[in-house]
């Protein structure tokens, strides 16, 4: 533990690791300050995007803190363990990016292949605006879960890690939000485009 007599600079890696494993949040902060630049640099280099790299960095430290019982100091260093988590989170981010790109490409191809009948594009645009409006009317937790799922392409497990909410809570928010959206869209007559 970091005490008044010891500052973070006085701690060697073994003390930071011991405190981290014991659940000392000050040691988590010390680990974050020491190894965040390494984690961020790996993510930034692999992803090529500062915002995505920052998100991955947060996910890495969140996963490390929650999974700290799985770290075995006799098998390697904390920094090495963090690098392993970073590689997995980068792979997840790249997979999500690929899925998003494939969906965008498929949507673009579908729009190019559809016959142009003037009003259909306008109607689809109106329905997208309606969907965005209905999403904005959802309670904040449901809206947050659905936005992370739809626009950030996160799985429910990833959303639970990102938000810190239990997986069951995330699933409940997603289910209630989708039911509410479907009901509102049915009332408006736009459900065939949204669901």
Q: What is the CATH number of the domain that holds 33?
A: 1.10.1740.10
Q: How many domains does the chain have?
A: 2
User: Of 98, 95, 91, 97, which Cα lies nearest the Cα of 43?
Assistant: 91
| Residue 15, C-beta contacts closer than 8 angstroms, at least 6 positions apart | 27
Task: Give the end of a domain, one of 97, 113, 129.
Answer: 113
Residue located via tokens 């498929």: 106
Task: Specify the higher pLDDT residue, 192 or 129.
Answer: 129
Mean pLDDT, to the nearest integer, of 153-172?
90
Residues 27 and 69 in one domain: yes
Structural domain including 128 reads 117-195
Mean pLDDT of 108-137: 62
Reported pTM: 0.53
* Average pLDDT value for residue range 109-119: 50
pLDDT value, residue 6: 45
188: CATH? 1.10.10.10
User: Residue 133: is its pLDDT beyond 70?
Assistant: yes
Residues 26 and 2 sit within 8 Å (Cβ to Cβ): yes
pLDDT in the model for residue 9: 56
Residues 95 and 121 occupy one common structural domain: no
Between these two residues, 117 and 72, which has the higher pLDDT value? 72
């Amino acid at each position: 533990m970091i005490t008044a007599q010891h500052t973070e600079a006085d701690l060697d890696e073994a003390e930071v690791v011991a405190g981290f494993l014991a659940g000392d949040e000050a040691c988590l902060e010390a680990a974050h300050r020491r190894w965040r630049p390494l984690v961020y640099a790996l993510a930034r280099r692999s992803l090529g995007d500062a915002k995505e790299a920052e998100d991955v960095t947060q996910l890495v430290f969140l996963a490390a803190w929650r999974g700290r019982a799985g770290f075995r100091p006799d098998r390697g260093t904390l920094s090495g363990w963090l690098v392993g988590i970073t590689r997995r989170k980068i792979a997840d981010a790249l997979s999500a990016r690929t899925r998003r790109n494939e969906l965008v490409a498929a949507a673009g191809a579908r729009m190019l292949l559809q016959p142009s009948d003037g009003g259909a594009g306008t109607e689809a645009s109106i329905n997208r605006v309606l969907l965005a409006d209905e999403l904005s009317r959802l309670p904040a937790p449901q809206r947050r879960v659905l936005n992370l799922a739809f626009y950030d392409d996160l799985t429910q497990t990833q959303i639970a890690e990102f938000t810190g909410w239990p997986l069951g809570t995330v699933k409940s928010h997603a289910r209630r939000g989708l039911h509410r959206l479907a009901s509102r869209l049915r009332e408006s007559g736009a459900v065939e485009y949204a669901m």
